[in-house]
Amino acid sequence: MQLTNIMIHAMASQTYQQHFLLVPFMSQSHLIPFTQLAKLLAANGITVTIVLTPLNATRFNMVIDQAKASNLKIHFKVLPFPCKEAGLPEGCENMDSVTSPQHQPLFFAACNMLKQPLEKWLSELETVPTCIISDICLPWTSSTATKFNIPRVIFHGISCFTLLCSHNISTSKVHERVTSMSQPFVVPDLPERIEFTKAQLPEAMMKDSESLKEAIEQFKKAELSSQGILVNTFEELEMMYVRGYEKVARNVWCVGPLSLYEKLMLEKLGRDDKPSMDESECVKFLLSNKPCSVIYVCFGSMSHFQASQLKELALGLEASNHPFIWVIGKNDCSAELEKWLVGENFTERNKGRGVIVRGWAPQVEILFHPATGGFLSHCGWNSTLEAVSAGVPMITWPMVAEQFFNEKLIVQVLKTGVRIGVEGGGDTIVKKEDVKKAIEQLMEQGGEGEQRRNRAKKLKEMAHKALEDGGSSSSNCKSFIQHIVGQVHS
């Protein structure tokens, strides 16, 4: 017994000598959870270095400021981003600044070019990091880790539900046996009956492209050769799917929701930043409304709607007679939409009942405000976890990537959401009547609306408990660190 205690004490002291290198894909939806993961690891005594490029480092300078305020050891290793070499416009360092589909493969190629300068930096270090935590989109980190004899794990910013569905679809090739994009098929070997159509699958799974197939194979190979995977989720949210994916991956450590961890950390710091104009306007508006009455509408930084669709959305919000905060993303702020809003006198017509924010809004603060009663979302995983952590039910409007998987989890498994009704593929316009109907269904008093809200509140409680000392995510984080320390010192 005494020997065991000595070993545990030795392991704990070794933790404070560890240096973990985080290598994210340069996209906002990836960078945000990576920086949140850095804070969690640093709070557990790890020295963390995050690989960034100049413009992305500027965007995330507040991470360093917060780390200093909390006495956390977080550093950036800034590598020049090879825009010119990859054939990209200068300054195109983040996926959300890629406006042309032709530039997407070039952007991936540029991210792959970071391998050589990173390895040069590693070769110059007196002591190499004790662990590499890599984005799934950067399979070249596998050979880098092997070259420098560093344990490597993959960090997934998506759910275990999505991971298991994707794996089972790919290995069974069930989607290849359907004859049309709209024909449903059942995903095999899942705890529940889950159906998709081809149109709802991520583009990489739908396209018959050798280069895409090769890229996915590289991602999978790099994952399977790792020490295991860290996932931004918590076990209680999707227990059966976590257990299912544990049969696929070597080790699975669920350490989320990382956005909630960051929020709790900032609250401890007593952050007193002055709110921006938009933030101040949002807060004032929320304070002027009743509990659970406001619909919050936001589709993330990568969304792109036709102006005709946004007009229908605007009219649907107005027709619902519920107060709303509508964030129009930078890609959607078109001259056509602005002309229509002015011509319709929309803002003035909805004064006191609606707020329009252009570009960015304090999403976490809005979702956690007692006045917020529903979230109309694209179902990105970061946004989904933020809604879960705040106990807010959702209206699901998925568009690309794994968002249709998240919709299934929200609506069918967790039963905390209402579908807007998009089926994927094509440019079908969601009419104002459909928007109004979904809002009324979500905000229904009593009945299913009340049941959804109650389920959402329970998930919020579970999320908070998972991050508490002794909770599942807190314990998994410690278990992961001990695993790495054990690898290094074995």
453 to each of 292, 403, 444, 447, 459, how far by Cα in Å? 10, 22, 10, 10, 10
What are the backbone dihedrals phi and psi of residue 213, each rounded to the nearest 5 degrees, phi first?
-60, -40
Residue 351 makes CB contacts below 8 A (sequence gap 6+) with: none
Would you say residue 75 has pLDDT above 60? yes
**pLDDT confidence tier of residue 203, bands split at 50, 70 and 90:** confident
With bands split at pLDDT 50, 70 and 90, how would you rate the model's confidence at 271? Answer: low
**In this predicted structure, what is the pLDDT of residue 6?**
40
Tell me which DSSP letter residue 402 carries: T
Residue 354 parent element (H or E): strand 354-358
- For residue 198, give the amino acid letter: K
pLDDT, one tens digit per residue, over 402-460 is 999 999 999 999 999 999 999 886 677 999 999 999 999 999 999 999 999 999 999 99
Mean pLDDT, the chain, whole residue set: 91
pLDDT tens-digit readout, 333-391 = 888 999 999 999 999 999 999 999 998 899 999 999 999 999 999 999 999 999 999 99
Could you tell me where in the chain the CATH 3.40.50.2000 domains are found? 17-262+468-488, 275-464
| Mean pLDDT, range 73-78, rounded to an integer | 96
Mean pLDDT of 393-400: 95
Percent residues over pLDDT 70 in the chain: 93
The H or E element that residue 34 is part of is helix 28-43
In this predicted structure, what is the pLDDT of residue 374?
A: 98
d(CA 132, CA 122): 11
Q: Tell how far CA 377 is from the center of its chain.
A: 13
Region 148-168: mean pLDDT is 96
- The pLDDT of 140-168, averaged and rounded, is 96
Q: How confident is the model at residue 218 (pLDDT cuts 50, 70, 90)?
A: confident
| Alpha-carbon distance values, 120 to 26, 79, 134, 220, 314 (Å) | 20, 11, 17, 26, 52
In terms of DSSP H, where are the helices of 90-238? 103-112, 115-124, 141-147, 160-172, 203-206, 210-224
Q: What is the pLDDT of residue 272?
A: 44
Return the pLDDT at 1: 44
Q: Give the residue, 277 or 164, on which the prediction is more confident.
A: 164
Dist CA 76 CA 490 (whole Å): 29
Across 203-209, average pLDDT: 71
pTM score of the predicted model: 0.92
At residue 277, the pLDDT reads 45
Is the pLDDT at 139 greater than 50? The verdict is yes
Q: What angle do CA 407, 28, 314 make, to 5 degrees?
A: 55
What single string gives the DSSP state of each residue in 380-394? -HHHHHHHHHHT--E
Q: By the 8 A CB rule, do 323 and 295 touch? A: yes
CATH class for the domain made up of 17-262+468-488:
alpha beta
Superfamily of domain 275-464: Glycogen Phosphorylase B; (3.40.50.2000)
Q: Which whole number is the average pLDDT over 30-55?
A: 97
Residue among 24, 26, 30, 23 at smallest CA distance from 402: 30
Structure confidence at residue 426 (pLDDT): 63
Whole-number Å distance between alpha carbons of 347 and 353: 9
Q: What is the largest distance, in Å, between two alpha-carbon atoms of the chain?
A: 78
- pLDDT tens track for 86-127: 999 999 999 888 877 788 889 999 999 999 999 999 999 999
What's the residue count for the chain? Answer: 490
Q: How confident is the model at residue 16 (pLDDT cuts 50, 70, 90)?
A: low
Q: List, in sequence order, every beta strand (DSSP E) within 136-271.
A: 152-156, 185-186, 195-196, 229-231, 252-254
